[in-house]
Structure formats: structure tokens, C-alpha cells
Structure 1
Amino acid sequence: MTDITKIVAKIWTADVAEAQTKDNYVYLGIAGREFVLDSTGSDFRRAQTQEFVFGEDSNVEEAEWNDPRTPQLTTADLDRYPAYIRYTGGDGWCLERAVITVNPGADEHVFDNEDLAGTADNQRIWLRSDYGQTLHLRRTGGTPDEGSGGVSGAGPRIVWGNVDKDGNVQSGSGNFLAEKVSNGRYKITFQRPFRNLPSATSNLTDDGWNLRDNSHIAVQENDHIIITTGDQAGGLNSRPFSFQVIGN
């Protein structure tokens, strides 16, 4: 268990119309309490990236009262309580990303929501009184204190699906796109790339195929896989298949 002496909240406001806040409050919840994200300048403007520092080297308003050392928080608290960003305004704020680093350095702890890792329209979130006002974060870096109930780094992520011979998704985890590239060749693109090269498997599905028909992972990358399906003669041929990818 280590004292928390510094918290850095890096906040990206989206570059879309009306993304900025209307001088309403934004809060960071972590280690069992809330902090107000309020610097000495203009905050949460459209396309603005900011770092709010609490504790050592603080750059926020009311620094004395927004301090993880008063009362003294510890790293054991990080996994006992939820981490989140909360917005109180009715007019809305479009958040592109939020990454929180506790005790920056060799033994830092990082919290993020990786569903926002990207620039697509569905990788940002509007927070508003009638949309929902809170975005929860999870640990993506650092080692939890023993007995705190936390999981080291990001846990494994699974992408899975069932795809018919024409490339249409029949069911799945929803975080991928399927495309039939050519006869017997399919591309599965992950909504969010894996940090490390994942493990992938595939199998043919449905009755009626020869036992020598086959499915292979032909290409395996952090952001996509290529699956090939073939017939008993050894040539490419379109077949329905299932797949599963696991990694972090």
C-alpha cells in the first residue's frame, strides 16, 4: 500500500459541434472520493486537450481541497472504489477520451475506457442530464495492491462471432466488422485494436460439409484477422464459420 501523492487527469474534448461545456462542473471519481476538474484557464473547449494535476505540482482551482493527500488516499483504494468521469450540466459535453494516471512514474497506475480509443463517431460519448452523466473507467496499467480486489492491467478481451458464407454476421460480440473479400476469404476487423498480437481460432459451422472442408486463420494482426475457408479438394470455397479472438 502506497500513499497517493499525485493524480494526473488527461481529458480530450471532442472536435464536434457544441462539444464544449457551458461552464458546468466535471468531476473525477477515484480512490473513494471526487475531485473537481477545474483549471485556472478555460476548460473543456472544443478540440481541447488538458491535463489536470491534483496533489504534487497541482494546477487546479481550490488545490488545497482537491488533494489526494487530504485526507491521505492510498493505492489500495484504487480498486476498492469505482473510477469515473461525471458531468453535471444539462447542456451536454462531448468527451473524446479520459486517461487518469496515479503516482506517475515507474510504479504508476492508469485508468481508461478503451471503448473511446479511436477517432470514429462511436468512439466518443456525450454526457448530459438526459443522456447519462457518468463514464466509468477501468484499470489498464499498474499492479493492484494485494487484497484490494483489482486485476493487474487490462484483463483479456474476447472478440467472437458466427458468419455465414456470404460474410453476414449471424451473432457475436458486436465489436467487429465482417467482410467477404473474395471466394473463401473473409476479413474480420476489430472495433478496437489489441495492444499485443492476439490468439485466434476459427471453425466451419453447420451440417452438410465434407469433413475435409476446412477453415484457417490466414492473417493475424492487432487490428484484424483474415479467415480462409476451403473445400475437400484443397481450394478456397465459401463456407459459414465461427471464430474467437482473445488478447489484450
Structure 2
Amino acid sequence: MAVIDAYENLQIVRGTVEADGTKKPGAKWGYKVTKTGTGEYTITFNNDFSETPSVVSTLDGDDWKLLDNAHVTGATIERVTVRTGNSNGEPADRPFHFIAMG
């Protein structure tokens, strides 16, 4: 049986962003957020990752339909864009959580 080395030295940045692009109280360190358009947010990491991180995002709260969405695009070692939308697939401002790891 092969032994797999499953340990990594990971940098983790996490947070919750309000629909207006402000940081929600809680995990507010390690990043800046800029609302760049309707349903579009750029998260800039205070410290670059050594390689492109894995990033996940999901909507925050109970007021959304299952078709409302948040997705990640354009991840680099310095930043990531999160786009949110409504149940019709149109860009819409939504609060969201994210985790970047790498």
C-alpha cells in the first residue's frame, strides 16, 4: 500500500462580504474587497499566495432562492473575483462567504 503525504503548509483567507461590498463582522483580516459592478466583487489578498489558491464561495443568508448564485472567477496569487446573481441568472448584489486556500 502506498503512503501518501497529505500534509501541506497552507495559507487560508476567509471572509463574509455584504451585498454592498463591505466586510461583515467576523473574519475581516487578510483581504480587501472592492465592489466593481452589479454582483461583482474583487477580493485582494493582503499577502500573496505562493501559487494560485483554491477558492470557494457561497451566498450568505436565508433570503435567497436555490437558483441565486455566487461563483469564483479569475483567481490569481494576488486576487480573486466573485460574481453573484439572481434566480434568473442575471448579475445581482448578494452577500457571500468565501474561503481561499493554497
Q: Which amino acid aligns with 1:217?
A: V
Partner residue, 1:227: 82
- Map of 1:84 onto structure 2: none
Amino acid of the residue matched to residue 186 of structure 1?
Y
Report the number of matched residues: 95
Overall identity of the aligned pairs, in %: 33
Q: CA deviation at 1:200?
A: 0.3
> What are the Cα deviations for residues 80-100 of structure 1, in whole angstroms up to 9, with x where unaligned?
xxxxxxxxxxxxxxxxxxxxx
Shift of residue 210, structure 1, vs aligned partner:
1.0
> Unpaired runs of 5+ in structure 2?
1-6
d(CA) in 2 for partners of 1:185, 1:172: 20
Q: Secondary structure at the match of 2:36?
A: strand
Q: TM-score, normalised by structure 1?
A: 0.37
Q: Which of 14, 22, 29 is the equivalent residue of 1:168?
A: 22
RMSD over aligned Cα atoms? 1.4
Misfit runs of 4+, over 2 Å = none
Q: Which amino acid aligns with 1:208?
A: D
List per-residue Cα deviations over 1:115-146 (Å, max 9, x = no partner).
xxxxxxxxxxxxxxxxxxxxxxxxxxxxxxxx
CA separation in 2, counterparts of 1:217 and 1:207? 21
Q: How does 1:121-132 map to 2 (within 5 A)?
A: none
Report the CA distance between 1:164 and its aligned residue. Answer: 0.4
Q: Report the equivalent of 2:55.
A: 200
Given that 1:200 and 1:217 are in contact with CA atoms closer than 8 Å, whether structure 2 keeps it comes out as yes
Structure 1: where are the runs of 5+ without partners? 1-151
Higher helix share: 1
Q: Find 2:9's aligned residue among 148, 152, 155.
A: 155
